[in-house]
Structure 1
Amino acid sequence: MSDPYDPANEGARMDFDGRMSYGDYLQLDRVLGAQKPLSDAHDEMLFIIQHQTSELWMRLAIHEIGAARAAIGGDDFAQAFKTLARVSRIFEQLNSAWDVLRTMTPADYTTFRAALGQSSGFQSWQYRLIEFMVGNRNPAMIRPHAHHPEIAALLETELTRPSLYAAAVAALARGGLAVPQAVLARDPAASWQEDEGVQAAWAQVYRDPRAHWPYYDLAEKLVDFEDYFRRWRFNHVTTVERVIGMKRGTGGTGGASYLRRMLEVELFPELWHLRTVL
């Protein structure tokens, strides 16, 4: 019988005393020590990990959306396209996570729901920041974070910047397409409002893609992202209905009824509605 395989014979480092290891680099002691169930229920670990991993993916999405916005602002479309494609893939991962959570039945959830207190995904500041960054801006949604002044300040600061979509529309104007000046001068803190002039500018791009290829590609990358974002919202409400039905959410929202209302929100309305007029 041959000797057991030893990676050290091929040069693998096996001694990490005083050297950085995989766990050191990723700070796995901190990451894997962050799951602290408050009950003895088996499925609470699933619930915690589902939401913690989603927050990690959202952290990356924030990093990439910020980079995409900066690239669009500098007319660096190649970089923007690469980054926006990554954001779509991030939301594909977020969508897949619901499949795991849906293995938790209503009976499973009731065994630990009381331990959640008033905590709710509605209070995710990273999710709120993503919505603010892409253009769905409602200053009232900062209030749940008032007890963390640094987070509230971060969200307030975001409202002073052009959103991802506002940056895209401004790029259209720099490219010579007719965007109404009133749109370009809008208060950045306001949620995006659909404008016929903006739709007409995007429609011009779609009617002659070859003449406006960077803007055509940009539009489709934005639509790709919103497509995945809409699926994430739909999967969210479907999972909530499957687990708690129409009960009120732990954070006081209407639960599934609140989430269904969010399904009607359009991030980039002109890009969807122009398809009807082409």
Structure 2
Amino acid sequence: MKTERPATPQSIVVEEAPKLDFKDAMTYGDYLQLDAVLNAQKPLSPDHNEMLFIIQHQTSELWMKLMLHELRAAIAKVAADELGGAFKMLARVSRIMEQLVHAWDVLATMTPPEYSAIRPYLANSSGFQSAQYRCIEFALGNKNAAMLKPHAHRADLLAQVQAAYEAPSLYDEALRLLARRGLPVPASHTQRDWTQPYQESAEVEQAWLVVYRDTERYFDLYQLGEELTDLEDAFRLWRFRHVTTVERVIGFKRGTGGTGGVSYLRKMLDTVLFPEIWKLRTDL
């Protein structure tokens, strides 16, 4: 008589108890420097809602730090004709901007009376003075010499912003790449003073049209054009959500940094970073 043997499991997973003793070992908090990060919130007012205001802007600055890390690397990749790596980085920048768009939803829970309670404690401090944001704008090509002045009081910050101001932007490097590939980008747009605001060019649009009319031949350049489109699309949404949140919270009061507030922010909505990329859609 045959004896049936019990079935043997294919695999047995043995769960180990989690480590609970971290004496003399690096911990999660150690790695992330959480003591410094979580103790960096120093409200100046007695109002409960100031914590929201501080954390909103601190987390935005952290996301912008990552955005600059990716943008600078992407610009270097485009300059070196390494588009695969650049595409990954630019896609990440667009996703970071999406995070920043949604962050405004949290700040929008602050009502006008709640903001009015903390506003006197802000003095002249304003997001207008963010050196990281200014570096992002300069890296994306929105150059304006006047925007160096808010950072003149800090030599270290001024040096960072000045470097971004004087360097070729992402779009400048994209156009230089098109020229290296034999496309008819004029020298006025590949050998220019990088500190000057970008000027739209019919010749540049024609170069992009060559790419978009023969996407199989120029597929990586076509993909670059679409990555730039995604990036500007996300940036526009970020700026628009900023405007609507500020208007919701403070109306048309002047900004704490001396700007016109909503009126100033609305003017920024008219800025187009990569004009030929958008215009060609009409002309295709």
Match of 1:113 among 119, 122, 127: 119
Note the alpha carbon deviations across 1:80-116, whole angstroms, 9 max, x for none: 1111000000001000100101111111111111110
Q: State the Cα distance separating 1:183 from its structure 2 match.
A: 1.2
Note the alpha carbon deviations across 1:16-46, whole angstroms, 9 max, x for none: 1111000000000000000010011111100
Partner of 1:248: 254
In 2, the alpha carbon distance for the partners of 1:82 and 1:51 equals: 26
Partner of 2:183: 177
Is 1:200 equivalent to 2:206 in the alignment? yes
Partner of 1:27: 33
Gaps of 5+ in 1: 1-8
In 2, the alpha carbon distance for the partners of 1:273 and 1:116 equals: 42
Partner of 1:143: 149
Partner of 2:273: 267
Larger Rg: 2
Runs (4+) of structure 1 moved beyond 4 Å?
Answer: none
Partner of 1:37: 43
Is 1:71 equivalent to 2:77 in the alignment? yes
TM-score, with length taken from structure 1: 0.95
In 2, the alpha carbon distance for the partners of 1:272 and 1:122 equals: 27
Q: Is contact 2:52-2:107 (8 Å) kept?
A: yes
Note the alpha carbon deviations across 1:243-262, whole angstroms, 9 max, x for none: 11111001110000000000
Partner of 1:231: 237
Aligned length: 270
Describe how 1:40-55 pairs up with structure 2 within 5 A. Answer: 40-55=46-61
In 2, the alpha carbon distance for the partners of 1:75 and 1:11 equals: 49
Is 1:129 equivalent to 2:111 in the alignment? no
Q: Is contact 2:139-2:170 (8 Å) kept?
A: yes
Amino acid at match of 1:196: A
Q: State the Cα distance separating 1:159 from its structure 2 match.
A: 2.4
Q: Is contact 2:135-2:165 (8 Å) kept?
A: no
Local SS of the residue matching 1:209: coil
In 2, the alpha carbon distance for the partners of 1:160 and 1:148 equals: 18
Amino acid at match of 2:92: R
Match of 2:264 among 239, 247, 258: 258
Coordinate RMSD, CA, aligned: 0.9
Amino acid at match of 1:65: L
Is 1:213 equivalent to 2:219 in the alignment? yes
In 2, the alpha carbon distance for the partners of 1:142 and 1:223 equals: 27
In 1, the alpha carbon distance for the partners of 2:257 and 2:187 equals: 41
Partner of 1:5: none
In 2, the alpha carbon distance for the partners of 1:154 and 1:40 equals: 35
Gaps of 5+ in 2: 1-14
Note the alpha carbon deviations across 1:166-204, whole angstroms, 9 max, x for none: 000111111111100121111011121111111111111
Local SS of the residue matching 1:178: coil
In 1, the alpha carbon distance for the partners of 2:26 and 2:194 equals: 44
Q: State the Cα distance separating 1:11 from its structure 2 match.
A: 4.1
Q: Is contact 2:135-2:164 (8 Å) kept?
A: yes
Is 1:160 equivalent to 2:166 in the alignment? yes
Amino acid at match of 1:127: Y
In 2, the alpha carbon distance for the partners of 1:108 and 1:155 equals: 33
Q: Give % identity.
A: 59
Amino acid at match of 2:95: R
Q: State the Cα distance separating 1:12 from its structure 2 match.
A: 2.1
